[in-house]
Amino acid sequence: MSDSANTVIIRVLDKEYQVNCPLDEREALMSSADNLDKRMREIRKSGNVIGLERIAVMAALNLAHELGEAEGRAASGAGVGKDITRLDKKLSRALSALEKVAPAPN
């Protein structure tokens, strides 16, 4: 397969970029480019940031911050899962001990 078959043209803030991308990731790349374009347009529209490079950096910082928050939530979710597993084991041991002392009626 030639390189041109893996080349995707994306548009971000009215500029075209050629990006090499595996065929199975093309849709995700296009979606990411659309998301970036939207965010950069919002930043430009606010009027607080001027210049393509500065707008790109602000968009990247915003996305990196959101990614960090999502990773933090995922990590705390994994911690909750470990707590639940630990509590489940503790309850199972307690129930087993209780059944030994007072077996459940048949």
- The predicted model gives 66-85 an average pLDDT of 81
Q: List 17's β-bridge partners, or say none.
A: 10
Which structure tokens are listed for 24? Answer: 């199975």
Q: Nearest 5 degrees, angle CA 85-CA 91-CA 97?
A: 140
- The predicted model gives 46-74 an average pLDDT of 91
Which structure tokens are listed for 3? Answer: 């390189």
- Residue-level pLDDT at 101: 66
Delineate the domains of the chain, giving CATH numbers in brackets. Answer: 3-101 (3.30.160.880)
The packing angle between helices 52-101 and 26-46, to 10°, is 120
- Residue-level pLDDT at 61: 94
Q: List 23's β-bridge partners, or say none.
A: none
- Residue-level pLDDT at 1: 43
Summarize pLDDT for 4-57 with one digit per residue, the tens: 569 999 999 999 999 999 999 999 999 999 999 999 999 999 998 889 899 999
Rounded distance, CA 98 to CA 106, Å?
Answer: 16
Residue 103 DSSP one-character state:
P
**Is 70 or 88 the better-scoring residue by pLDDT?**
70
- Residue-level pLDDT at 43: 94
Residue 105 has pLDDT above 60, yes or no: yes
**Residues 58, 60, 64, 70: is their CA dihedral positive or negative?**
positive
Confidence of residue 76 (pLDDT cuts 50, 70, 90): confident
